[in-house]
A = this chain, B = another copy of it.
Amino acid sequence: MKNKLLVLGTMAYDALETPFDKVDKILGGCATYIALAASQLDVEIGVISIVGEDFEAEHLTLLKNRNIDLTGVEIVAGEKTFFWSGRYHNDLNTRTTLVTELNVLTQFDPKVPENWRASDIVLLGNLNPSNQASVLDQLTTKPKLVIMDTMNFWMDNNRQELDALLPRVDVICINDEEARQLTAQNSLVKAAKLIQKSGPRYVIIKKGEHGALLFHDNQVFCAPALPLEEIFDPTGAGDSFVGGFAAYLAQLGDISFDAMKSAIIYASAMASFTVEKFGPENLIDLSQKRIQQRLAAFDQLTRFEIALG
């Protein structure tokens, strides 16, 4: 029987501008990227989200055809789907938000369907910490692993709810600036230690083009990012990263530190695909062959032999 991965997150439409191109409306939202990345693996995926009546049938079909269970996605009549618009600057490391229309998100009260209340792994995508807590409250069985993504916006505006949620989380996945903001520590090693004290036993710190670090007790693992000639569009890279990470562990049925090392490499491969094309395009078109080739590239990128005495 496949392991069950429950995902909370947004489903959205995005308008994106990069130095290379622009799109007015493309499928987006963290749950979308997470589910698409996860669907490359052999796991059962259920999504908890909310959309408006403008959410297109073809996009629901796209996800359902990949065996993504959308029972937990509420469709609200007379309302519009969450919309985000952003412009990336020349280095693609920074972006300006042009428009944020929360729309249906303002009334989001996540409901976990009956058959998803005993999930193996729960992935709380980047959303209001009270929405994230609400999902955990509805579970009837403690999951083997709870993974949380969050961002500086919630640290600024919902710090208390965020702090209350951390002890209920096993793995937190944030970027380097967020780790520094959360702990007021410049050293990522010190930041990771403080975060571990606040709850999550595993801390993943994403560093964009510099890869990612995984901390647990006194152990560290360092995963590179794939050096790419051109980053086309960074949107969704972090979401497909954490989606690949969670699904890899779910497929393997192993949540050891060693399993997490492999999962982070898989996660990095998913992120590397995402940034090569606009929005989730590349994730939708992936083949197992391309994934295997990409994993082999990560192996080549990092493998070395050195005599150890």
Contact = CB atoms under 8 A, between A and B. Distances in A.
Per assembly, the copies of the chain total: 2
Interface in A212-232: 213, 219-224, 227-230
Given A222-B301, A300-B219, A301-B220, A189 B306 contact: no
B308 A299 contact: yes
A277 interface: no
A189 B91 contact: no
Interface centre among A90, A223, A298, A306 (most CB of B within 10 A): A306
Given A219-B300, A266-B306, A299-B306, 14 more contacts: A90-B186, A91-B186, A187-B229, A188-B227, A189-B228, A211-B222, A220-B227, A221-B300, A222-B224, A288-B309, A289-B309, A296-B308, A302-B302, A302-B304
Range, interface on chain A? 35 or more
A224 B224 contact: yes
A229 B189 contact: yes
5 contacts: A190-B230, A207-B210, A221-B302, A265-B304, A296-B308
Contacts of A305: 258, 261-262
A27 interface: no
A295 interface: yes
Given A186-B91, A210-B207, A262 B222 contact: no
A221 B301 contact: yes
Interface string A48-89: 000000000000000000000000000000000000000000
Contacts of A187: 228-230
Contacts of A266: 306
Interface centre among A211, A223, A300, A301 (most CB of B within 10 A): A301
A292 interface: yes
Contacts of A298: 306
A59 to B, nearest CB: 30
A255 B43 CA distance: 45
A292 B304 contact: no
Nearest to A207: B210
A43 to B, nearest CB: 16
A222 B227 contact: yes
Interface in A143-189: 186-189
A213 B209 CA distance: 12
B227 A189 contact: yes
Contacts of A288: 309
A230 B308 CA distance: 26
A219 B304 CA distance: 13
Interface in A224-262: 224, 227-230, 258, 261-262
A102 to B, nearest CB: 34
